[in-house]
């Protein structure tokens, strides 16, 4: 008998954020008025606490991440809080370099506009025996999705490497990214209980 049993459960989750248009437009206005600085190969907002000005969206994104942590990682936690949030702007010919997010559990990317380059978000597949970086497998959103992702939130484990290939569109790719951490009690009443309040 030959059998392969998977031991990893690494998922990218995509959900539409059904927030009132007023809140989403306010976020887009904020993007238009924000100061940006050059990052490695694209632009990032100078402000890294964008969602502090958008309480309702902050609550929606936190809840989505809470569900992700409960359902994907099977962690019983009271809440997930957003610790940092920033805008990214990538213009034609720019790209978002390979990176991962530290000091965070799950990270999110929210697409502010419909842009074909949204689908070029690429993730490295986790590989325990990661001896030769050039052999990493990758997964790109366009392998699975061809729809308009405006107002959709992408969630993934923060330790997962990700990048966006060179922007082809004349329109800049506009996104909001954020990091998270536990809030309140995790594993309440169990051996591993810990309070992050
Ligand atoms: Fe990122």
Taking only the tens place, the pLDDT of each residue in 165-175 is: 999 999 999 99
Q: How far is the CA of 22 from the centre of ligand 1 (A)?
A: 26
Q: How far is the CA of 2 from the centre of ligand 1 (A)?
A: 38
Distance 174 CA to ligand 1 centre (A): 13
Contact present, 156 and 65 (Cβ < 8 Å): no
Distance from Cα 137 to the centre of ligand 1, integer Å: 18
What 3-state DSSP class applies to 28?
helix
- Is the predicted pLDDT of residue 132 greater than 80, yes or no? no
Ligand 1 mean position to 21 CA, how many Å? 26
Can you give the pTM of this predicted structure?
A: 0.94
Q: Which domains does the chain have, with CATH numbers?
A: 14-185 (2.60.120.620)
């Amino acid at each position: 008998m030959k059998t392969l049993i998977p031991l990893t459960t690494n998922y990218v989750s995509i959900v539409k954020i059904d927030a009132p248009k007023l809140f989403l437009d306010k976020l887009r206005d904020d993007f238009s008025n924000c100061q940006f600085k050059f990052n490695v190969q694209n632009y990032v907002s100078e402000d890294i606490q964008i969602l502090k000005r958008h309480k309702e969206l902050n609550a929606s994104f936190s809840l989505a991440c809470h569900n992700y942590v409960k359902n994907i990682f099977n962690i019983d936690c009271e809440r997930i809080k957003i610790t940092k949030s920033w805008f990214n702007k990538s213009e034609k010919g720019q790209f978002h370099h390979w990176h991962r997010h530290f000091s965070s559990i799950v990270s999110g990317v929210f697409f502010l506009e419909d842009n074909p380059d949204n689908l070029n978000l690429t993730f490295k597949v986790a590989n325990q025996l990661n001896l030769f970086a050039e052999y990493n497998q990758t997964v790109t959103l366009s392998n699975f999705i061809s729809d308009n992702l405006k107002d959709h939130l992408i969630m993934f484990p923060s330790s997962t490497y990700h990048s966006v290939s060179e922007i082809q569109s004349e329109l800049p790719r506009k996104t909001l990214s954020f990091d998270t951490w536990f809030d309140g009690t995790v594993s309440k009443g169990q051996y591993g209980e810990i309070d992050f309040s």
